[in-house]
Amino acid sequence: MYKFSSKLKSLSIALMVIGILGVGYGFFSAPKTVEEVKKEMSHDSHGSHHGGESKAHLEKEALAKIDNHGHEADASHGDADAHAEHVLHQKQNRPWSALYVSVLFFALISLGVLVFYALQHVSQAGWSIVLLRVMEGITAYLPVGTVLVFVVLVLSSMHANHLFAWMNGDLINPDSPDFDKLTFAKKGYLNVPFFLARAVIYIVGWNLYRHLSRKRSIAMDTANSLDIYKRNFKRSAGFLVFFLVSESMMSWDWIMSIDHHWFSTLFAWYVFASFLVSAVTTIALVTVYLKSKGYLENVNDSHIHDLAKFMFGFSVFWTYLWFSQFLLIWYSDIPEEVTYYVTRFSEYKVPFLGMVAMNFIFPVLLLINSDYKRIPWLVVMGGIVILAGHYVDFYIMIMPGTVGGSWSIGIPEISAILLMLGLFIYIVFTALTKAPLLAKGNPFLKESEQFHY
Amino acid sequence: MASHYEAPIREPLIIGDKSYHDITKDVAAPVEGKANKQWWIVFIISMAAFLWGAGCMLYTIGTGIGTWGLNKTVGWAWDITNFVWWVGIGHAGTLISAVLLLFRQKWRMAINRSAEAMTIFAVVQAGLFPIIHMGRPWMGYWVLPIPNQFGSLWTNFNSPLLWDVFAISTYLSVSLVFWWTGLLPDFAMLRDRAVRPFQKKIYGLLSFGWSGRAKDWQRFEEVSLVLAGLATPLVLSVHTIVSMDFATSVIPGWHTTIFPPYFVAGAVFSGFAMVQTLLIIMRKVCNLEAYITLQHIELMNIIIMVTGSIVGCAYITELFVAWYSGVEYEQYAFLNRATGPYAWAYWMMMTCNVFSPQFMWSKKLRTSIIFSFGISIVVNVGMWFERFVIIVTSLHRDYLPSSWTMFSPSFVDIGIYVGTIGFFFVLFLLYARTFPVIAQAEVKSILKSSGENYKKLRDGNHE
């Protein structure tokens, strides 16, 4: 049995405390009124907040038709007041977005682990049985993580923030000056009750599978027959079908609808690739940690090698999807779509291109060597870069639509990461103490114990 | 050794009481024997189809593209449909030999040789279309960036059609090398068994002096792994590039970002269906039922089911996003597919690709050989229609209603397609008579872990 070391426990609690304080500070320091924003803006030299005249101009041009907040740029609004109000909304969104990115990122990591876990069952993998309990431990975060996401979604629906611009009732009110035809056309799908109902269905579906598969896994430890194993196999296949559909819709709902004028058919699979590679990386990191503490005696360097291969492979896969989406939109340069990348390229250039280095170039160069894939510290190093890179990926997906040019990575963002990381560590490692780290009763256990590549 | 251990729950991959020698004999039998009457009948039919198709091609080149059913609006139809269809079919071979190798799937060993052969013959068919659909195919070499007397006039590297040239030619050469490397030990086996001097000479040449030393095997394995690692991204990128012929455009129904992975999924889907069609016949006529077992057929059906579901998910995504986008051209493109003059093709595609693979959820159906054979044909019909629907329905009605038109193929369009099917079978039939259709060296490597007799011997003790 694993024992949660008091050092790690204190660390996770410390992270949560620091995180909460920082998140609180983020909300406290966000401007409350337009006046505050104006004062702040006058401190900055003319227009520098948007990176100079040319960039502001570019942005205006690109967003002339499709504005982040959904309303068509109105001539009468085009003065300093409107701009200040716009910036106020962005700045008020910042602590919320910072929190949302982190909450979503960690929840999707544990969802990704659950998918990987289900894949191990349906593919009858023989190598990964000794890692199943590690994966189960990580998915223990799923109920907490998804409920936290849901809380943010509910708060957004109650207009506590402006993360989802389409939730603004004025956009679909034909009598309002802010009326937006496009948003109105989408209201059959983008409306709060349906949006929240869908979220409930995804969250319940995922957690149900996680709960039952964990129960069956524990029951299998003492079972004499293969009945439970077979049931697990079937349920995992069912879950994967549910996941394929729910993940697509989840990506449209929770991420794509932030830029609700924009659309891309590839988007859902791209999001999936991003959190799947992060999930495998997390499995590798937790495994290496537990192994270093002497808990996973059956895990050898071949298991680490396999995990590192998946980190490598899925990193390439993510890049493939990232590039496909980018190239196709860049190539045909259709105004409705290209605004998405125009804002990202003009306002988020460093993180936007930096993430490609972190998510592709670095892991690919590091993990192509088969000896390196067996060296724990190299895998950990690659893993940390991959995780940071995919945090940036989620950041880039969410921030431009919520805070626009007013972004930065400061106290609110880092605190939100620390808070969720502390919570993640606390829940995952607590869950690991609940059951033996070796799942007995799986018919492939012996293959996994003897696994050598 | 750990590598010989296998969980008792895994079903045997080699049926019966086989020894290494039995495997050799079984694999060599079709090559060493004589062709029977049925082989000659099928061969002659395929040859006739091929010759007819070749005649149509020559007629096209001699007379002009106007002999086809194309018009000013629909400039691509059967030519590119068939091209994409054949390339798609070719993808399963690389998937089986490369991706399944990376995932250490032992069951691939009995089917990889034929799947790769199928890849190569399918890519050859595909490769015909980019040339014959040119208005001036004799200028075809202009697509290559070679220094010349026109002040070194070069190609424009921005066109996906040029990327196609690189993708297809690289794909064909890498697949060929991958296939041939795997063949070396098997050709050596045929060389060593040959009794007639002519055969001995031929297989001696083909096997490159393979003598099976430890060092050779070690390098052989490493080369296979490296090639598998290279072929996997290649297989994804080739069909991705093919998909970009459409997706980079601004045509509603073509311009969509999901095309790259969705075309790849569709390619795997149709490719596996073709492998299924061929192997179900081959295991019977070549007496290879002990190696290509019901389990192989079932596993291929499962892959067909999974990729079919992915394709289905992509169809629904496209439909949803077309509505969600609020772009009326996009919405109309999909409305036109479902209710326009080619609705029959659309619903044919939907039925074949989305509904039919779902039958495979039933264990009874996916372990039925007759049913699997039927579905594998249905899937390939569906995938032909998928490409046809994407290409023609998006072209025949797009931005300007004054340019709306219809398309119907001429006999030359059809003749060329039939000709490539004939050519494919000519090549495949010749292959099946002269090549070792099962990678015997690989199958021997799993005999002791996955052979029925050895499994019984091992697991019998403690059960």
- Are A241 and B309 in contact (CB < 8 Å)? yes
Q: Which of B7, B244, B314 shows the shortest C-beta gap to A446?
A: B7
Of A55-69, A251-265, A437-451, B421-435, least confident by mean pLDDT is A55-69
**Alpha carbon of A223 to those of A126, B71, B305: distances in Å?**
19, 68, 32
**From the CB of residue B178, how many other CB atoms can be counted at a distance below 10 Å?**
26
The upper half-sphere exposure of residue A22, i.e. CA atoms within 13 Å in the direction of its Cβ, equals 21
Which chain B residues touch A226 with a CB distance below 8 Å?
A: 9
The partner residue sitting opposite B261, judged by closest CB among A124, A181, A269, is: A269
Least CB-CB distance to B7: which of A252, A334, A444?
A: A444
Q: How confident is the model at residue A37 (pLDDT cuts 50, 70, 90)?
A: confident
The contacts of residue A431 (CB under 8 Å, 6+ apart) are A136, A137, A140, A141
Q: What is the pLDDT of residue B461?
A: 56
Confidence grade of residue A43 (pLDDT, cut at 50, 70, 90) = low
Q: Assess A191–B contact: CB distance below 8 Å, yes or no.
A: no
* Partners of residue B451 on adjacent β-strands: B14
ipTM: 0.93
Question: Measured between alpha carbons, how far is A397 from A391 in angstroms, rounded to an integer?
Answer: 10
CA A97/CA A417 separation, integer angstroms: 12
Q: How far apart are CA B58 and CA B280, in angstroms?
A: 35
Give yes or no for A370 touching B (CB within 8 A): no
Q: What residue of A is the nearest CA neighbor of B159?
A: A331
The two tokens of residue A409 are 């990575």
Residue B120 burial by Cβ neighbours in a 10 Å radius (0-12, 13-18, 19+): buried
Give the pLDDT of residue A79: 67
A92 min Cα distance to partner chain B (Å)? 28
A441: tokens are: 């009763």
**Confidence at A56, pLDDT banded by 50, 70, 90:** very low
Contact: B321, A263; criterion CB under 8 Å: yes
- pLDDT exceeds cutoff 70 at A64: no
Q: Does B310 touch chain A (CB under 8 A)?
A: yes
Interval B28-54 mean pLDDT? 94
> A369 — contact with chain B (CB < 8 Å)?
no
* B257 contacts in chain A (CB < 8 Å): 264-267, 324-325, 328-329
Task: Please determine, for residue A300, whether its predicted confidence score (pLDDT) is greater than 50.
Answer: yes
Is the Cβ–Cβ distance between B60 and B413 less than 8 Å? no
Q: What is the pLDDT of residues B167-194, one digit of tens each?
A: 999 999 999 999 999 999 999 999 999 9
**Which residue from A186, A226, A265 is facing B317, i.e. has the nearest CB?**
A265
Contact A244 B309 (CB under 8 A): yes
What digits encode the pLDDT tens for the residues B265-321? 999 999 999 999 999 999 999 999 999 999 999 999 999 999 999 999 999 999 999
Determine the Cα–Cα distance for residues B202 and B221; give it in Å rounded to an integer: 25
User: Is the Cβ pair B233, A316 closer than 8 Å?
Assistant: yes
How does pLDDT run across B149-169, given as a tens digit for each residue?
A: 999 899 999 999 999 999 999
Closest CA to B206 of B221, B184, B224, B182: B184
3-state secondary structure chain B: CHHHCCCCCCCCCECCCCCHHHHHHHHHHHHHCCCCHHHHHHHHHHHHHHHHHHHHHHHHHHHCHHHCCCCCCCCCCHHHHHHHHHHHHHHHHHHHHHHHHHCCCHHHHHCHHHHHHHHHHHHHHHHHHHHHCCCCHHHHHHHCCCCCCCCCCCCCCCCHHHHHHHHHHHHHHHHHHHHHHHHHHHHHHHHHHCCCHHHHHHHHHHCCCCCCCHHHHHHHHHHHHHHHHHHHHHHHHHHHHHHHHHHCCCCCCCCCCCHHHHHHHHHHHHHHHHHHHHHHHHHHHCCCCCCCCHHHHHHHHHHHHHHHHHHHHHHHHHHHHHHHHCCHHHHHHHHHHHHCCCHHHHHHHHHHHHHHHHHHHCHHHHCCHHHHHHHHHHHHHHHHHHHHHHHHHHHHCCCCHHHCCCCCCCHHHHHHHHHHHHHHHHHHHHHHHHCCCCCHHHHHHHHHHHEHHHHHHHHHHHC
The answer to whether residues B365 and B359 touch, using CB atoms and an 8 Å cutoff, is yes
More confident residue, A259 or A47: A259
Phi, psi of B451, deg, nearest 5 = -75, 145
- Terminal Cα distance for chain A, rounded: 27
pLDDT per position as a tens digit, A347-387:
999 999 999 999 999 999 999 999 999 999 999 999 999 99
The whole-chain average pLDDT of chain A stands at 89
Location of structure tokens 């023989």:
A126
Q: Which chain B residues are closer than 8 Å to A319 by Cβ?
A: none
| Cβ pair B257:A329 closer than 8 A | yes
Closest chain B residue to the Cα of A306, Cα to Cα = B103
Task: Go through the domains of chain B in sequence order and give each one's CATH number.
Answer: 53-137+156-447 (1.20.1630.10)
B257–A325 C-beta distance less than 8 A: yes
Question: With contact defined as beta carbons under 8 Å apart, do B360 and B305 qualify?
Answer: yes
| A223 conformational bin, left if phi > 0, alpha if psi -120 to 50, beta if neither | beta
Q: Report d(CA B320, CA A27) in Å as an integer.
A: 37
What average pLDDT does this structure show over B129-146? 94
Instruction: State the best of A251, A271, A324, A450 to mutate against chain B, taking most chain B CBs within 10 Å.
Output: A324
Task: Return the number of CB contacts < 8 Å for A and B.
Answer: 91
How far is C-alpha B4 from the geometric centre of its chain's CA atoms? 32
**DSSP annotation of A72:** P
3-state secondary structure at position A374: helix
Q: Does A334 touch chain B (CB under 8 A)?
A: yes
Q: Which residues contact A270 (CB under 8 A, 6 or more apart)?
A: A251, A264, A318, A321, A322, A325
pLDDT at residue A46, rounded to an integer: 46
A158 touches chain B (CB under 8 A): no
pLDDT in the model for residue B357: 92
Whole-number pLDDT of residue A78: 53
What's the rounded Cα separation, in Å, for the pair B206 and B180?
9
Query: Looking at the predicted structure, is the pLDDT value of residue B140 above 50?
Result: yes
The C-alpha R_g of chain B, in whole angstroms, comes to 23
B221: its two tokens:
């394995």
Interfacial B residues in 221-240 facing A (CB < 8 Å): 233, 236-237, 240
Record the tokens describing residue B378, joined without a space.
């249905």
Q: How far apart are CA A201 and CA A206, in angstroms?
A: 9
The answer to whether A11 and A411 are in contact (CB under 8 A) is: no
Model pLDDT, residue A62? 47
pTM over 0.80: yes
A158 — phi, psi (to 5°)? -90, 15
> What confidence score (pLDDT) does residue A404 get?
85
**Residue A17 pLDDT greater than 70, yes or no:** yes
CA distance A326 to chain B (A): 9
Other C-beta atoms lying within 10 Å of the C-beta of residue A392: 22
**Residue B134, Cβ neighbours under 10 Å: how many?**
16
Q: Which of residues 9-68 of B touch A (CB under 8 A)?
A: 9-10
Within 8 A of A328 by CB-CB distance, chain B residues are 244, 247-248, 255-257, 259-260
Distance CA A428, CA A141 (A): 6
- Tokens encoding B24: 């050799």
